[in-house]
Chains A and B, each alone.
Chain A
Amino acid sequence: MPVDVREATKSIAIPRLGASGHDRPPRLNANDGRLRTLQEGSPPPSSTAIWVGIAAISMTFAALTSAMIVRQGSGMDWQRLSLPNILFLNTVILIASSVTLEMFRHKWSPAGKAPAPSDPTTLWLYVTVVLGVFFVAGQYIAWKKLQAEGLYLASNPSSSFFYLLTAAHAVHVLGGLGGLLYIAARLRRATLYTSTLNVATKYWHFMDVLWVYLLVLLWAKL
């Protein structure tokens, strides 16, 4: 069992010396950083890491957004695209999947007690996965609809960006689905950490936020 270092070291007081050593008298202050160190209750690294991941993905889509805006202004050949209606249904499905995921996570007690594999609460997790699959399938249907209208990747810059942005998002959703399946597998073996579940959930909700942003962008700009 790992030692609970927090308990073991609670009693040690740490005097703080001037950072450059010589030009200030020592002050008695436990720490001067805003964030706490590991043994003083810092957040689990995965909760920092998910924000790092979200930042990176956001930058990627920001780059694609600016590419789209510049491209729209550069050539005279932009033809407005009408979005397939199924996209709106897909949006509802994706948001619903976030709701079901939260319903699963909410039942998860912070004290570390999890539902037994046979508990009906675990159903919400599987519903989330199914809804996620429906979302991706629905995106595929949207692409098929555009193709039926003769709009392919290279047909027009507007269709290029439509396929590019929705495909990039769908790829990340598939990654998120992989994460949810991993959660499910860990759950069945009763080795799921709270931090892992929180990371997967944050990521999944981010997929929602990203999709809504993309939908608004496509609707307004395309």
Chain B
Amino acid sequence: MISGRWSAIFQSVTDTRSNASFLLPILLIAVSPPAALAQETDPYDDIDATAIVRQADQKLRGESSYGSTSITIVRPDYTRELSMVSWAKGDEYYLILITQPARDSGSSFLKRGKEIWNWIPTIERTVKLPPSMMSQNWMGTDFTNDDLVRESSIVVDYEHRVLGEEEIDGYLCWKIELIPHQDAAVVWGKILTWIDKKDFMQLKAEFYDEDEFLINTMQGSEPKEFDGRLLPSVLRMIPADKDGHLTVMRTLSLDFDLPIPDNFFTVRNMKSVRPED
């Protein structure tokens, strides 16, 4: 690959790779398009991009978590608000309870391993979501059911490579390129993600198809401390080709590693679960 060749050429000249982390704050001030930097030299070759991504991913997870979120769906003709609370345990279990608006309040979504269930109180029924629903937009947002239950793993399904550094909202970030493994069941051709160097927050992500057209952009902002972790409290999902379309996800509270038993995540429980506190 290109980076290997370049680094070999410049090794004798720079020999600063091991000191990269020291030099970079200085370079930061002088740096103009960091892309230029990445093209000429590739001091990022040795950086374990995967480790960075994993760390960022881990921040969002824990053994378990409980949080409350509000979602705003913006469309040219209307705007919609949703509020929900969610419990998660590892990668296997996930339970979401809608609390607002009143019409949808009490609806819940349960992920158990690879199964997804939906409880609808107005008709008193649980429905197991078939594959045909997985790619549908979840509750009218720009996220798919897939995104919601994170069937694909940003760590496992991709190859990672640091392209350079960029500043986003005053935070210096790694710009990392994610290319899906050949077999990975993801639709994207490429994802670019910006992860803040200090606290490993994902501040931005761009989703491309294989023809390198930008399809979606995700922006993280307004970092807050949630149970000791600094995370962006606001996530914006912006489709590229649709004017006036936007989904905003605002994390209101998030607590980690509470003890939640496995049997909390059952079809039975999803019908009667209530928000904590």
Do chains A and B stick together as partners?
Answer: no
**Chain A residues with a Cβ under 8 A of chain B:** none
